[in-house]
Amino acid sequence: MRRNPVLTVLHRLAIGLYIAFALFPLYWLLKVSVTPNDLLYSEGVRLWPSRTSFEHYAFVIANSEFPRFFLNSFIVSGSTAVIVTIVAAVAGYALSRFAFRGKYWITALMLLTQMFPLVMLIAPMFKILSPLGLTNSLTGLIVVYTAFNVPFATFLMQSFFDGIPRDLEEAAMIDGATRFVAFRQIILPLTLPGIAATLGFVFTAAWSELLFALMLISGNAAATFPVGLLSFVSKFSVDFGQMMAAGILALIPAALFFLLIQRYLVQGLTAGAVKG
Amino acid sequence: MTAFVASRRRPFLQRLADASEPWLYTAPALILIVAVMLVPLVLGVSYAFRDIKLLNPFGGGFVGLKHFEALATDQAFRTALVNTLWWTGASVLIQFVFGLILALLLNQPFRGRAIAQALCFLPWAVPSFLTGLDWAWLFNPVIGPLPHWFVALGLMETPQSILSDPDLAMWGPIAANVWWGIPFFAITLLAALQAIPKDLYEAAAIDGAGPIERFRSITLPFLAPTIAITILLRTVWISNFADLIVVMTNGGPADRTQIVASYIFTTAFRRLDFGYASAIALVLLVLLLAYSMLIVLLRQSLLKRG
């Protein structure tokens, strides 16, 4: 099809405008994080400070509790991602390959968990976890996040398994392998991209979770990054440079995982278009 | 099929093992969902009828409908209901319109499309607490550019944060939510656009249909089911989405940005009144169920007529 050059220019312009809109808030975060304190107020609305420094990053890494928050968040998100992916791979495989009574109800149950307000679980969850010693503990957060992410991850894995022909494991089973051996040795290696995408989605979701972490964690020892950053904001609300440096540090893992999964975004979000 | 025929001749234990196999695979997921989501859900419903305050160890007795009677006269709750409609309606509508435009723009092939797409979708990867903080800083007159731009445009007399202005405060979280949520709509709609057969457009072009006509009679009908389901799900999701409000305004000033979900969180987290928080949560659950039922009924009556 021939294209009207005016339309082409308008199209590129619109894309460029949207990219500017999408990146500007992140750019501003970066800009303030490298602005030295003495220029922070005098050059408030300049697009780039006349002098840059990494003093805020140095302070945040050396003198604050952020390294610990970072490590806590990493332990929680990493463990959650690994456990959820294993559980969801197995369950997603069953939903993709078996026709069994109860499959409809399992799917309905999982869809239901995506519809009701999770915020209503905050109070009872605290009451349940508290006598078990799982409040103020990373283990408690891992258990909660794992359960929250399993339904979506299961739908995601199911959609990846649906894309692999059944003949493969049927051939292996005719050759005498059990179904589980066929699943582990033939199907799983073929789903590696799907597994990577699921790991990325779940890691990002756990890394971002705020409300349950606020309720279940008090004190710095087990604080995840969002909890630590918010308490830092309410205590030292004038240290904008340090807060934004910490914000940029929190963004890095999420952005890395995003780059890892963004090729699968379109497939993944349509598979389980139920959750952000 | 061969497996099925063979199974008839197999001994009972073997058949039992076959029948339980899918349950073995799904058991870990089911146990987690039941133990960590359904059990607290049921417990939460029971809290709505009990006096449970974290700081009162002698509480816990049943109080019947006391919480709901209090809710009926709770002005903050009424404000939160109205705010929820406003927050959800504005967020979903703006996200949808710009998400659709972005999806249409990205659906055209051009050089560098992969990179452009990754950059456009990047906000979606930003953690919600950071999105909230970032936008609160952008609206901050000391550190952010937006108030100064508003003054330059003549929209504001002196640079100040809209987050502390009772009449404008809700636009702060809505702006952050729009920035963060457009990619979700764009991704979903882009996937639907790419599934439309290309030859339909070619055939329509040969028949002399212009771009607007092609959009109206091919693109929109193909997108309609995706649009409907995405809007339905996002409406429910956004009405429950309290992170941005908790981070940016904490419901203030004077409850002007409090939505029901953030009110539940504040009641449980700051006032530590678990009974009352659960009662509000139960009302929210019933409202969301009613909304979903309404949509299902609407869809069925539309299908019957069509």
Q: Do B25 and A94 touch (CB under 8 A)?
A: yes
Single out the residue of A233, A255, A228, A258 nearest to residue A244, CA to CA: A233
Q: Do B121 and A262 touch (CB under 8 A)?
A: yes
Alpha-carbon gap, residue A85 to A146, rounded angstroms: 9
Q: What is the pTM of this model?
A: 0.88
Q: Do B181 and A276 touch (CB under 8 A)?
A: yes
Q: Which of A86-100, B55-69, B135-149, B269-283 has the lowest mean pLDDT?
A: B55-69
Is B295 within a domain?
yes
Share of chain A above pLDDT 90, in %: 36
Is the pLDDT confidence value at A263 over 80?
no
Q: Pick the residue with more confidence: B295 or B119?
A: B119
A257, amino acid identity: F
Q: Do A273 and B188 touch (CB under 8 A)?
A: yes
Is B284 within a domain?
yes
- The ipTM is 0.87
Q: Pick the residue with more confidence: B91 or B218?
A: B91
Mutation to test the B interface, candidates A21, A24, A122, most B Cβ within 10 Å: A122
Is the pLDDT confidence value at B247 over 60?
yes
Per-residue model confidence as pLDDT tens digits over B146-156: 998 998 898 88
Distance of CA A18 to the CA centre of its chain: 23
The stretch A106-123 carries a mean pLDDT of: 86
Q: Is residue B253 reached through a cis peptide bond, with omega within 30 degrees of 0 on the bond before it?
A: yes
Which residues in A lie closer than 8 A to residue B282 (C-beta atoms)? 120
B172 pLDDT tier (thresholds 50, 70, 90): very high
Give helix then strand counts, H and E, for chain B: 15, 0
Q: What is the CATH number of the domain that holds B132?
A: 1.10.3720.10
Which residues in A lie closer than 8 A to residue B23 (C-beta atoms)? 100, 102
A2 pLDDT tier (thresholds 50, 70, 90): low
Is B99 within a domain?
yes
Give the per-residue pLDDT at A266. Answer: 62
> Do B242 and A119 touch, CB atoms closer than 8 A?
yes
Fold (CATH) for A57-271: MetI-like fold (1.10.3720)
Q: Nearest by CB to A117, which of B118, B205, B284?
A: B284
Give the per-residue pLDDT at B170. Answer: 94
Q: Do A40 and B143 touch (CB under 8 A)?
A: yes
Is the pLDDT confidence value at B88 over 50?
yes
Q: Say which residue the tokens 């969180």 belong to.
A: B265
Is B124 within a domain?
yes
Give the per-residue pLDDT at B143. Answer: 85
A159, amino acid identity: S
Q: Do B122 and A258 touch (CB under 8 A)?
A: yes
Number of domains in chain B: 1
Is B162 within a domain?
yes
Give the per-residue pLDDT at A146. Answer: 96
Which residues in A lie closer than 8 A to residue B288 (C-beta atoms)? 115-117
The stretch B193-222 carries a mean pLDDT of: 87
Is B165 within a domain?
yes
A212 pLDDT tier (thresholds 50, 70, 90): very high
Q: Do A14 and B44 touch (CB under 8 A)?
A: no
Task: Please enumerate in sequence order all residues whose Cβ is within 8 A of that of B295, keeping only pairs 6 or more positions apart, or say none.
Answer: B232
Alpha helices (runs of H) in A178-238, residue ranges in sequence order: 179-182, 188-190, 192-208, 211-216, 225-235
Q: Do B274 and A113 touch (CB under 8 A)?
A: no
What are φ and ψ of residue B166, in 5° steps? -55, -30
Is the pLDDT confidence value at A234 over 80?
no
Distance linking the first and last C-alpha atoms of chain B: 39
What residues pair up with B50 in beta bridges, in sequence order? B62
Residue B30: its H or E element: helix B12-33
Mean pLDDT, rounded, of chain B: 88
A70, amino acid identity: F
Give the per-residue pLDDT at B209. Answer: 84
What is the nearest CA distance from B77 to chain A, expressed in angstroms? 15
> Do A94 and A155 touch, CB atoms closer than 8 A?
no
Q: Pick the residue with more confidence: A198 or A76?
A: A76
Is the pLDDT confidence value at B162 over 60?
yes
Q: And the tokens for A259?
A: 């780059």
Give the per-residue pLDDT at A262. Answer: 74
Give the per-residue pLDDT at A268. Answer: 54
Closest residue on chain A to B281 (Cα) = A120
**Residue B131 is part of which domain span?**
76-305
The stretch A2-27 carries a mean pLDDT of: 90
Is the pLDDT confidence value at A83 over 50?
yes
Q: What is the dihedral of CA A64, A68, A70, A72, to 10 degrees?
A: -150
What residues pair up with B62 in beta bridges, in sequence order? B50
Is the pLDDT confidence value at B227 over 60?
yes
Domain definitions of chain A by residue range: 1-53, 57-271
Alpha-carbon gap, residue A236 to A32, rounded angstroms: 16
Give the per-residue pLDDT at A90. Answer: 94
What is the nearest CA distance from A24 to chain B, expressed in angstroms? 10
Is the pLDDT confidence value at A274 over 50?
no
Is B216 within a domain?
yes
> DSSP character for A120?
G
Instruction: Give the number of C-alpha atoms closer than 13 A to the C-alpha of residue B256, restricted to the C-beta side.
Output: 16
Alpha-carbon gap, residue B249 to B257, rounded angstroms: 7
Q: Which of A112-116, B147-151, B258-262 has the lowest mean pLDDT?
A: A112-116
Chain A to chain B Cβ contacts (< 8 Å):
260
Which residues in B lie closer than 8 A to residue A211 (C-beta atoms)? 242-243, 246, 265, 269
Is the pLDDT confidence value at B7 over 70?
no
Give the per-residue pLDDT at B1. Answer: 43
- B171-194 and B113-121 helices cross at what angle (nearest 10)? 140
Is the pLDDT confidence value at A275 over 80?
no
Is the pLDDT confidence value at A267 over 60?
no
Closest residue on chain A to B276 (Cα) = A123
Give the per-residue pLDDT at A129. Answer: 92
Single out the residue of B267, B287, B270 nearest to residue B278, CA to CA: B267
A160 pLDDT tier (thresholds 50, 70, 90): confident
Mean pLDDT, rounded, of chain A: 86
Per-residue model confidence as pLDDT tens digits over B30-55: 999 999 999 999 999 999 999 888 77
Is B287 within a domain?
yes
